[in-house]
Amino acid sequence: MSFPNLLTVPKIDKTGVEERVNRFCKRSIKNSSKTHGLHLALSMIDLTTLDGKDTPENVKRMCYKANHLHDSLQGIPKVAAVCVYPTMVKYAKKELKGTKINVASVATGFPSGQSSLDVKLSDTKFAVNEGADEIDMVISRGKFLAGEYNFVYDEIASVKEVCGKAHLKVILETGELDTLDNVRKASEIAIYAGADFIKTSTGKINPASTMSVAYVMLNAIKDYYKQTGIKIGMKPAGGISSSKIALQYLVMLNETLGHEWMNKDLFRFGASSLANDILMQLQRQESGYYESIDYFSKD
Amino acid sequence: MARINVLKTYKNFIGGKFPRTESGRYFQIKNGNEELLANMCLSSRKDFRNAVVVARKVQKSWQNATALNRGQVLYRVAEMLESRKSQFIEELMMTGLSKSHAKNEVELSIDRLIYYAGWSDKFQQVFSSVNPVASNHFNFSLLQSVGVVSVISPNDYSLLGMISVIAPIIVGGNTCVILSSEKNPMASISFAEVLNTSDVPSGVVNILTGKRKELLSHFASHKDVNAIIYCGDNNQEIKEIEHLSSENLKRVKIYKHKNWDHNSSQSPFFIETCQELKTIWHPNKV
């Protein structure tokens, strides 16, 4: 691990990226592939609740949902993980005991990241000790925009250290980084500092994940893989609420990084309402009727 | 130099916007002399699905708007239609109606909107009741909107027929998705422009053009639709609707009559059609 050479980071052609991304949205997908894609997307979801009003009870409810998405549909996968605040980790852990569903916890002063390093590290330690399998940290966007890249790098590296065995996902919060060039730079810093996953957004800022920023991040992963042979994962989060959008992301993933990335170990969706929309689609494919949300569990 | 007329592109009306059909298809509307009048969007099931999504989204807030407000909105629609009377008379005449018939239809349409605007804060009193029961309860019943209604609009009376069906639906707090007259959709889809310039919230009324044969089954089977109104007398279609609607116990109402210009085509019972009767048992003398 070393600090990346930011002088060699490629400049991003914004128009080019948008043109390319538009093409991903126009692929025609046959029905059988669509079903397969929907199953895959479902298995990649980090079911998320990150509200100030979260209680142990609604975290329990969500965990039950993660484990029993829609029991009347045969052969559907479970979601990859649930994503909660550190204080909720122990409840989620207890509910998901014996399942293969991971517990992810946001940390480091989520969502703003405006706290001191000590607080951030102890926040992370707390989540890990409570049993979190994955840590979603936020970077210090203020420091990044002020040009203090070393600070951002060191911070990620220190958090990585206290994570231990837990996977580290680094949230860039691209909605606050302004330009695609910054997104690419932040991706490089996060990857070189030891991120296992890079993640677009907290979901608290608009715009959240867009196809363009995700495409730029996928390319950073691709270049890193070419240089080192190490596979970094990707997690778009926020704003991915329909099956259609999820399938477009999968098309983009497949055509950018290839099928080796098409699994939950290397790609996740951070979403809450996406799961129900996919279930409604799958149910429609089975029954032939358009569905009503009334027949599915509430998020 | 002779001037080239600028023809209107007729499009669907979904969620307060005028999108083309997602399918990219169209069909032709011709007059009696086989002259082309317009190209119409040949909507697909996906257009219908999108329309139901927006209709569902806005339904709660429309239902919770005060009765007074809903009445005012309907009155506003009538005002806007009045100011564009001549356009609609012309459009109806293009499809073969005589001038006097067309004028009559447009005027009746405006009056019908006013009629239902007036009922908005009155129908509740007419249909609600306090019920005598043999226990210590105060028992009363009142009406509540059913939710999202899909409408197969009448083929004749493309404007008046459609307005006669949707005005009672929306005045009661429902939202709707309409398949306009297949024969003469021009005036029906132009009515969307009137809706759009009055104060009807986006998504309360959504209008599609297309073929009954193709869309009927989706209008009837969609599980997020709470009621369907069918205007026509094709027994096979009626049977199909009743069969598919049973899947989610959708309310089915068939209007076989064709005299939409008659006074019998307006009554508060048309409002009641899309209302659920809710009865409340309130304990007293505890």
* B224 with A291: Cβ contact below 8 A: yes
| Inter-chain CB pairs, A–B, below 8 Å | 23
Nearest to A291 among B45, B218, B223 (CB): B223
In the structure encoding, which two tokens stand for residue B13, read together?
A: 């009306």
CB A60 within 8 Å of CB A95: yes
Residues of B whose CB is below 8 A from A294:
223-224
Mean pLDDT estimate for chain A:
94
Helix axes B185-197, B85-94, angle to 10 degrees: 160
Nearest Cα of chain A lies from the Cα of B51 at a distance, in angstroms, of: 12
The pLDDT, as a whole number, for residue B146 is: 97
* Residue B4 forms part of a structural domain: no
* Separation of alpha carbons A195 and A153, rounded Å: 10
Is residue B21 assigned to a domain?
no
- Residue B88's domain spans which residues? 26-258+266-283
Q: Å from A240 to nearest chain B CA? A: 17
| pLDDT tier at A24, thresholds 50, 70, 90 | very high
For residue B159, tell me if it sits in a domain: yes
Examine the pLDDT at A1 and tell me if it is beyond 70.
no
Q: Report yes or no on B177 lying in a domain.
A: yes
- Partner B contacted by A293 (CB < 8 A): yes
CATH code (residue B116):
3.40.605.10
Tell me the CB-side half-sphere exposure of residue B87, using CA atoms within 13 A: 14
Q: Is A14 a catalytic residue?
A: no
pLDDT at A255: 96
- Can you tell me the ipTM of this complex? 0.80
What are the chain B neighbours of A291 within 8 Å (beta carbons)? 223-224
Identify the three-state secondary structure at position B7.
coil
In this prediction, residue B274 carries a pLDDT of: 96
**Which residues of B are less than 8 Å from A279 in CB distance?**
none
For residue B41, is pLDDT > 70? yes
Contact A289 B222 (CB under 8 A): yes
B224 vs A293: CB contact, 8 Å cut-off? yes
The mean per-residue pLDDT over the stretch A145-169 comes to 95
Report yes or no: A126 and A106 within 8 Å, Cβ to Cβ. Answer: no
SS3 state of residue A77: coil
Does residue B279 belong to any structural domain of this protein? yes
Multiple choice CATH, A6-295, 3.40.1380.10, 3.40.50.620, 3.20.20.70, 3.90.1010.10: 3.20.20.70
Which among A46, A123, A136, A196 is annotated as catalytic?
A: A136
Question: Per-residue pLDDT averaged across B100-124, rounded?
Answer: 97
pLDDT score for A299: 66
In a domain, B13, yes or no: no
Residue position matching structure tokens 């009626």: B238
Q: Catalytic site residue A264?
A: no
Residues on chain A touching B248 (C-beta within 8 angstroms): 292
CA atoms B133, B138, B141, B146: torsion sign? negative
For A84-132, how does the pLDDT look when each residue is reduced to its tens digit (9 = 90+)? 999 999 999 999 999 999 999 999 999 999 999 999 999 999 999 999 9
A288, A292, A293: residue with CB nearest B248: A292
CB atoms within 10 A of CB A292: 18
CB B263 within 8 A of CB B164: no
CB B162 within 8 A of CB B178: yes
* CB-based contact B221 A295, cutoff 8 Å: no
Q: What is the pLDDT of residue A2?
A: 84
How close, in Å, is residue A288 to chain B by CA atoms?
A: 9
Structural domain contains residue B222: yes
Nearest residue to A136 via CA among A158, A164, A159, A104: A104
Evaluate whether residue B19 is within a structural domain: no
A136 is catalytic: yes
Counted domains in chain B: 1
Inter-chain CB proximity B223 and A289 less than 8 Å: yes
pLDDT (tens digit per residue) in B178-227: 999 998 899 999 999 999 999 999 999 999 999 999 999 999 999 999 99
Answer whether B223 sits within 8 Å of A292, measured CB to CB. yes
* CA distance, residue A97 to nearest chain B CA (Å): 36
- Report pLDDT for B199: 92
Q: How confident is the model at residue A298 (pLDDT cuts 50, 70, 90)?
A: confident
Whether A289 sits inside 8 A of B224 (CB atoms) is no
For the stretch A128-155, pLDDT in tens is 999 999 999 999 999 999 999 999 999 9
- Contacts with A284 from chain B: Cβ below 8 Å: none
Catalytic member of A65, A169, A235, A264: A235
